[in-house]
Amino acid sequence: MKIKSLLAAAALASVTSLATSHAQAEDLTLCWAAWDPANALVELSKDYEAKSGNKMHFEFVPWPNFADRMLNELNSGGKLCDLMIGDSQWIGGAAESGHYVKLNDFFDANGIKMGDFVPATVTGYSEWPKHTPNYWALPAFGDVVGWTYRKDWFARPELQAEFKTKYNRDLAPPTTFAELKDIAEFFQNRTIDGKTVYGASIYTERGSEGITMGAMDVLYSFGFKYDNPDKPYDMKGFVNSPGAVAGLEYYKELYKFTPPGSSNGYMGEGIDAYKSGQVALQMNFAFTWPGFEADANVGHGKTGYLVNPAGPNGEKFAQLGGQGISVVSYSTKQKEALDYIKWFAQPDVQAKWWKAGGYSCLRAVVEDPGFASSQPYAQAFLDSMAIVKDFWAEPSYATLLQDTQKRFHDYVVAGKGTAQEALDGLVEDWTKTFKDDGKI
């Protein structure tokens, strides 16, 4: 009841414009991960400061520590953050635990329509329960796992000829995971410009979410499903289906074609491997693409951007990344925080967000006729966001994720057991968690 009262008051107050809604300037703190998009948001937010009179402060935490730091902050009812750009998987727990302010009334009062945003980002970043019109965040940063490849290496006549002889097809961007593995194998331990290079950089990190994001990015296209589409939390035969097993086996095979020392790599390690010229292919979230395009070693036409390839049956999906922006319910400055979201949602601000290196989720931006040609990676981003799936967003997502991390890392990296055993074990782990939650 207290939260509902706060919501009603905030929604009513936010009807006034940014320029006139503040009797005095307020300091707001926005919490997010420490990465390039956050730096772009700092610059973008100077416009908000100028128009509102409020002063923005930022608390950015490196990705490996981001979840622990910020979930502890929310769970303790901390008042550090007025605004939170939280990961997509947090939405269920944050909604059910009362950490975020529900935004429906605010959206209605200010003409902010979820239909104006890319549907996958609304489902992934804003809704809880999923596929219901209950909104706890505004889609803030669209992201998805895709691939980069060395266009300049692929174009070398001597490599094209050798590849054609060995695989009986052209050395070209892969359209299937089978083709991708052949390319990784072809480049593994090859000498290019006097330097030993390797096939691919993939996610293998154990501590937070890395290997789960990477393996799931493959498993979806091999037929993995979280549960029975007709019976929630009925996982046997879906999580551990023959296709899912084949996908996990494939991921372990792909691990053979990574650089030495790749047993615990995630986003940063992938960026470093690619920029330093170690790998021909690199799995990573799309947020990395602007940085590659601008890099002296791999940018300016040397890099190509790929949508996730298709699996053996032609299915093609990709792991959703990205986040929504929420108002923290423990903030004493909810009115000002809501005003920031109102400012951020404006089409002209969203257009500037894309140009600054942020991935806008607003359809008016991404469906603009000039969007696809606005950057070399824009079309790949659009196509990728059309095929996304996401990990559990349940309140117990952290436990579900920890179990997945262990099962996948033990099999793929440590070589323990079989893929079937890993996924059978995962069904047991997840079943226990959902039973404890009273959901099965």
Residue 324 contacts residue 403 (beta carbons within 8 Å)? no
Backbone φ, ψ for residue 225 (5° rounding): -135, 145
User: Cα separation of 203 and 247, whole Å?
Assistant: 15
DSSP 241: -
What ranges do the domains of the chain cover?
Answer: 2-143+322-389, 145-319
* Mean pLDDT rounded to a whole number for the chain: 94
Indicate the CATH number for domain 2-143+322-389.
Answer: 3.40.190.10
Residue 175 contacts residue 185 (beta carbons within 8 Å)? no
Please provide the size of the chain in residues: 440
Parts of the chain with a pLDDT under 70: 1-24
pTM attached to this predicted model: 0.92
Residue 108 confidence (pLDDT): 98
- Thinking of the domain 145-319, which architecture would CATH place it in? 3-Layer(aba) Sandwich (3.40)
Q: Identify the bridge partners of residue 142 per DSSP, sorted by sequence position.
A: 322
Topology match between the domains 2-143+322-389 and 145-319 = yes
Q: What is 3-16 written as a DSSP string?
A: HHHHHHHHHHHTTS
User: Cα separation of 196 and 326, whole Å?
Assistant: 46
Residue 64 confidence (pLDDT): 87
How far is residue 422 from each of residues 106, 407, 417, measured CA to CA in Å? 45, 5, 7
User: Cα separation of 62 and 66, whole Å?
Assistant: 6
SS3 annotation, 86-147: EEHHHHHHHHHCCCECCCHHHHHHCCCCHHHECHHHHHHHCECCCCCCCECCEEEEEEEEEE
- Neighbour count for residue 276 (Cβ, 10 Å): 12
